Chain A
Amino acid sequence: MLQVDESPSQSIQSILAQVARREPQSLNHCIERYGNLIWSIAKRYSPSQADAEDAVQEIFLELWQKADRFNPSLSAETTFVTMIARRRLIDRFRKQSRSVEVNSVENDFDEQPNLSSTASVELIDEAAKATRCLDGLVANQRDILRKSIQEGKSHSQISSELEIPLGSVKSFARRGLIQLRQCMERFSVAGTGVAS
């Protein structure tokens, strides 16, 4: 399930807004609330446990530094946190080595409950949009995006696992992400309802 520890008091107010106001306990609240989520992302995009731990520290520091730039009217706080985390991890990977494959610390894909993507609509609005839009993708695109974005696997790993040519994996992933983005933007414009 979504790894955001949200106590009732914390859910009322943005944690990042508290960090931006330099409230004494806000950083610990931030760690409590987003620690598991950021750890989950870091594990999937890091070649080792130590690397994942270093990445988590970097991500939190960046998050605290950029807390004042979060605007709740533009995105959910969880989305903002995820964007910062993913960008930091991808940059780390690119700088460390552009030729070394990233192996996830742990592959729990096979252990996932077999849930329909529409079974998880309840949490945040933006994830709900993504859920509906993911359902509009062809199965291959959805699988490739899951392995790339959620599991942090390289295209060559995905190519090998799914026995699809590398070029096709890249093409499916990019086209899938473009379709998702366009679908989610149509949702945003429409306000409610299902994007076509």
Chain B
Amino acid sequence: MSSVEANDYRIQELAAGYSLGDLTDAEWHEIQSYDRKIFQAMVERSEEASACTFLTFQNTVPSERMPAELSSRLQKMATGFFADDTTPAIQKASNAVTIAPSAMGVREISAWLCMAASIALALCVWLPGKREWVTSLEEQRASLIASAPDILRSKWESTAPETKPGTELGEVVWSTASQQGFMTIRGLPANDAKKEQYQLWIIDPSRDDKPVDGGVFDIIKDGESIVAIQAKLRVDKPTVFAITVEKPGGVVVSDQKRLPLLAKIASN
């Protein structure tokens, strides 16, 4: 097997793991080293195969009926779904989706809040006529800011000579409700991924004193980069986001010898 074929097979293997939900932390990191569009296209094909497989197996088992109470709840949700701006159930303003609690129960509200964020952040977007993953990180970030009710924002501060002096360094945005966030980064030099990579850490004292791994990433060009945060554990009350420089693939515990950027959350 040539190196190109081996690389291609590895992408297929990781896409299969993604579809089966069995990727390890190291593999999540590894994904970032592959071309995003190629990987996502392969994921989509794997997910379609998984869906067909599910349906095939499902066809051999007795039918199960959804609980009547759940069905009623869905029908209540449906009542408000097509409502326009004047209806109380759901109000849409530009890109934002806001909820009017009086129209729904707690459970429905939770579902709406969750979906408002998750729809905005969905990894794949289906377009009529072709299958593509078209949502850019910039669009995903904008959607999160527009839709998440609990968005936290903080500007990066330079803590080391890696950053270019006088540069507006960007910011981090985070939504605890959706467990999603994005970093906008300017001024960090491009890294050689074979030698070192950047790694995000999230400090959440409500968990414990160990920072949560926020994912390994590369800066591949000068100018602005947007990076999706890949928190490996749930983060509830983040107080600091810190970027360190680590060996390729990242580390489990950082010695923090090189920590070029830091963003503190003012109040939580």
List chain A positions with a Cβ less than 8 A from chain B: 1-3, 22, 24, 27-28, 30-31, 35-41, 43, 53-54, 56-58, 60-62, 64-66, 68-71, 74-75, 78-80, 82-83, 86-88, 90-91, 93-98, 108, 111-113, 115, 117, 119-120, 123-124, 126-127, 129-131, 134, 145-146, 148-150, 154-155, 170, 173-175, 177-178, 180-181, 184-185
Contacts of A40 in B (CB 8 A): 58, 64
Q: Is B268 engaged at the interface, CB distance under 8 Å to the other chain? A: no
Q: Cβ of A79 and Cβ of B52 under 8 Å apart? A: yes
CA A127 to CA B66, docked complex, whole Å: 22
Is A177 touching B55 in the complex (CB atoms < 8 A)?
no
Chain A to chain B contacts (Cβ below 8 Å), 24 pairs: A3-B64, A30-B78, A35-B70, A36-B64, A36-B66, A37-B58, A53-B67, A54-B111, A56-B70, A58-B114, A66-B119, A86-B50, A86-B51, A91-B118, A95-B179, A108-B62, A111-B62, A119-B60, A134-B56, A175-B13, A175-B16, A177-B53, A181-B16, A181-B46
Known: A69-B128, A127-B59. Contact between A60 and B50, CB under 8 A? no
Bound together, the chains give a CA A180 to CA B52 distance in angstroms of 10
Q: How many angstroms between the C-alpha atoms of A88 and B51 in the bound complex? A: 13
Contact status B60-A115, CB under 8 Å: yes
Majority DSSP secondary structure for residues of A touching B: helix
Contact B20 A173 (CB under 8 A): yes
The distance from the CB of B108 to the nearest CB of chain A, in whole angstroms, is: 7
Residues of B within 8 A of A150 (CB): 53-54, 57-58, 61
Whether B16 lies near A178 (C-beta < 8 A) is yes
How many positions in chain B have a CB within 8 Å of any CB in the partner chain? 63
Bound CA span A146–B59, Å: 12
A174 touches B16 (CB 8 A): yes
* Neighbour of A74 across the interface among B12, B74, B131, CB < 8 A: B131
The 10 closest A-B pairs by CB, nearest first: A69-B126, A27-B78, A150-B57, A181-B49, A130-B52, A82-B51, A39-B66, A90-B21, A61-B115, A57-B111
- Tell me if B48 counts as interface (CB < 8 A to partner A): yes
Residue of B nearest to A83 (CB): B51
Task: Take A74-B131, A112-B60, A174-B17 as given contacts and tell me if A2 and B54 are in contact as well, using a CB distance cutoff of 8 Å.
Answer: no
What chain B residues lie within 8 Å of A54 (beta carbons)? 107, 110-111
> What residues of chain A lie closer than 8 Å to B257, measured between beta carbons?
none
Given known pairs A127-B59, A146-B57, A174-B20, the reply for A31 and B78 (CB within 8 Å) is yes
Contact of B58 among A2, A126, A181 (CB under 8 A): A2
**Residues in chain A near residue B52, CB distance under 8 A:** 79, 82, 126-127, 129-130, 184
| B50: contacting residue among A69, A75, A177, CB under 8 A | A177
A119 to chain B, nearest CB (A): 8
Say whether A83 contacts B48, CB under 8 Å. yes
B160 within 8 A of A: no
Q: Give the Cβ gap from B176 to chain A, nearest Cβ, in Å.
A: 11
Contacts of A108 in B (CB 8 A): 61-62
In the complex, whether B206 has a CB less than 8 A from a CB of chain A is: no
Do A130 and B62 touch across chains, with their CB atoms under 8 A apart?
A: no
Shortest CB-to-CB span from B14 to chain A, Å, is 9
Q: A57-B111, A75-B48, A94-B21 are in contact. Are A149 and B82 (CB under 8 A)?
A: no
A43 touches B64 (CB 8 A): yes
